């Protein structure tokens, strides 16, 4: 098996089977500092083509994407997303939308009732489709020399984000993606992930065996954090982020917001 020593698994090599596509994927890192430079219309079209080539449940294609370049609109979205300044610094901010509104418009045009979009399964389809599409776009962007970082905080205030983007009833911003030319001076590297033994289960789920890898991973990630001026280990991050409603930056009210936006998710 061909491998790459790139730090994805700490001091263990990363399997690639010699594939240049896999080598690109396992070299992924979030980019939060951007240099001057635009994302051209041609590049944007390429990212969307890659996104539309992702799998989609029953070919429903229950997503849309809003490309935001206007500095003032990016600044307003950054404020709604917890003042994440990489939104304003990115050449383009892509907001990926779980979009059931298109199906509702089809039903109106056909004069037929449409009830399934009111159910949780349909909401999940919209979010999953958007995520699959966006990840295809990320790989495409990185192949073009661009950098990206996801922004889940567009869900902090989903109603306000929907109003800013003019989203129709039945559509909600699932997450954002800041895209631009990476700043080579950014103090960041490939972040170690959990060992494969912690996430890969053969035939049946084995929690005891998987969790035996967690202490070593905590050490690897803590060392990475120290190297880049960060603090804490992975366990600390997980427990703090999932402590309770107070740790969710307003997203504990998401179910009610979804209903207001036309996705009741029954």
Tell me the residue range of the domain where 97 lies. Answer: 31-185+254-260
Instruction: Confirm whether 202 is domain-assigned.
Output: no
Instruction: Confirm whether 117 is domain-assigned.
Output: yes
**Is 180 within 8 Å of 88 (Cβ atoms)?**
no
Mean pLDDT score across all residues of the chain:
96
Q: pLDDT value at position 211?
A: 97
Q: What is the pLDDT of residues 108-136, one digit of tens each?
A: 999 999 999 999 999 999 999 999 999 99
Instruction: Confirm whether 26 is domain-assigned.
Output: no
List beta partners, residue 3: 15
Instruction: Confirm whether 240 is domain-assigned.
Output: no
Instruction: Confirm whether 11 is domain-assigned.
Output: no
Instruction: Confirm whether 191 is domain-assigned.
Output: no
Q: What is the pTM of this model?
A: 0.96
Share of the chain above pLDDT 90, in %: 91
3-state secondary structure 147-210: EEEEEHHHHCCHHHHHHHHCCCCCEEEEEEEEEEEECCCCCCCCCCCCCHHHHCCCCCCCHHHH
More confident position, 4 or 42 = 42
Give the integer Cα–Cα distance in Å for 34 and 146: 9
Q: pLDDT value at position 233?
A: 87
In this prediction, residues 33-55 reach a mean pLDDT of 97
Give the integer Cα–Cα distance in Å for 265 and 256: 10
Q: What is the pLDDT of residues 190-222, one digit of tens each?
A: 999 999 999 999 999 999 999 999 999 999 999
Question: Is the per-residue pLDDT at 148 higher than 90?
Answer: yes
Q: What's the CATH code of the domain at 36?
A: 3.40.109.10
Instruction: Give how many domains the chain has, as a whole number.
Output: 1
Instruction: Confirm whether 247 is domain-assigned.
Output: no
3-state secondary structure 4-31: EEEEEECCEEEECCCCHHHHHHHCCCCC
Give the integer Cα–Cα distance in Å for 125 and 7: 34
Instruction: Confirm whether 203 is domain-assigned.
Output: no
Q: What is the pLDDT of residues 221-243, one digit of tens each?
A: 999 999 998 888 899 999 999 99
**Is 157 within 8 Å of 250 (Cβ atoms)?**
yes
Q: pLDDT value at position 66?
A: 98
3-state secondary structure 43-61: HHHHHHHHHHCCCCHHHCC
Count how many residues are written for the chain: 266
Q: Is the dihedral of CA 128, 133, 139, 141 positive or negative?
A: negative
| CA dist list (Å): 148 to 91, 151, 197 | 10, 10, 28
Q: pLDDT value at position 49?
A: 98
In this prediction, residues 90-105 reach a mean pLDDT of 98
């Amino acid at each position: 098996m061909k491998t790459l020593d790139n730090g994805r698994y700490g001091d263990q090599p990363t399997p690639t089977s010699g594939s240049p596509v896999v080598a690109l994927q396992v070299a992924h890192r979030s980019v939060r500092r951007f240099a001057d430079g635009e994302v051209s219309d041609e590049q944007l079209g390429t990212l969307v083509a890659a996104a539309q080539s992702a799998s989609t449940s029953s070919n429903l294609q229950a997503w849309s994407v809003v490309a935001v370049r206007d500095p003032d609109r990016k600044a307003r979205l950054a404020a709604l997303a917890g003042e994440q300044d990489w939104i304003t610094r990115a050449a383009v901010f892509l907001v990926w939308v779980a979009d059931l509104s298109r199906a509702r418009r089809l039903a109106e045009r056909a004069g037929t009732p449409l009830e399934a979009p009111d159910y949780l399964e349909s909401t999940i389809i919209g979010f999953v489709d958007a995520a699959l599409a966006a990840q295809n776009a990320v790989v495409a962007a990185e192949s073009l020399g661009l950098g990206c970082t996801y922004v889940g905080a567009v869900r902090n205030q989903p109603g306000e984000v929907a109003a800013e983007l003019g989203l129709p009833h039945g559509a909600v911003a699932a997450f954002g993606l800041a895209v631009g030319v990476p700043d080579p001076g950014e103090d960041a590297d490939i972040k170690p992930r959990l060992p494969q033994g912690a996430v890969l289960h053969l035939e049946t789920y084995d929690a005891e065996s998987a969790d035996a890898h967690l202490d070593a991973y905590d050490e690897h990630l803590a060392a990475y954090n120290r190297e880049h001026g960060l603090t804490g280990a992975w366990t600390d991050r997980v427990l703090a982020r999932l402590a309770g409603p107070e740790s969710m930056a307003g997203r504990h009210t998401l179910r009610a917001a979804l209903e207001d936006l036309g996705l009741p998710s029954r």
